[in-house]
Amino acid sequence: MLIGAGLNASAVDPCLFFGADILVVVYVDDLFITSRDTTTIRKFQAAFSSKFKMKDVGVPSMVLGVNVSCQSGKVKLSIKDSITKIGKEHRSEKVARVECSMQKEYDPNDMTSPFV
């Protein structure tokens, strides 16, 4: 269905599909749809919901243990809560903070990026 809708399958992740201005991630029975243009998202939702039962729950606040927040057009991902929970469960609550940035080669605006 996604490829039939004009999306391409990622070469590195079987759950990631992309088009000229849209990314769709599939996880079991959930779709995470993103685009810089809300009209693109709405058109995709309309086409997809004509064939499948679908409910828009808005921007997720947590996905697979990752906190998600959107501020000033940027998406922030954090696993601090998950790490704290694991630390408490294993009585290892004192953990050091480590900064981690995306690969320098990754460009979220370039759909030909090797990490898409």
pLDDT digits (tens, 9 = 90+) for 34-88: 888 889 999 999 988 888 898 888 888 888 888 888 877 777 888 888 888 888 8
Looking up tokens 């391409």, which residue turns up?
8
Angstrom distance (rounded) from CA 116 to CA 112: 7
Residue 68 sits in which domain range?
59-101
Q: Are the C-beta atoms of residues 34 and 23 closer than 8 Å to each other?
A: yes
> 32 φ, ψ to 5°?
-110, 115
Q: Are 67 and 46 in a shared domain?
A: no
Question: Has residue 12 been placed in a domain?
Answer: yes
Q: Are 41 and 63 in a shared domain?
A: no
Looking up tokens 């599909």, which residue turns up?
17
| pLDDT tens column, 31-49 | 889 888 889 999 999 988 8
Q: Are 64 and 47 in a shared domain?
A: no
Q: Are 68 and 50 in a shared domain?
A: no
Question: Has residue 16 been placed in a domain?
Answer: yes
| pLDDT tens column, 96-115 | 666 666 555 656 666 666 55
| pLDDT tens column, 10-34 | 988 999 999 989 999 998 888 889 8
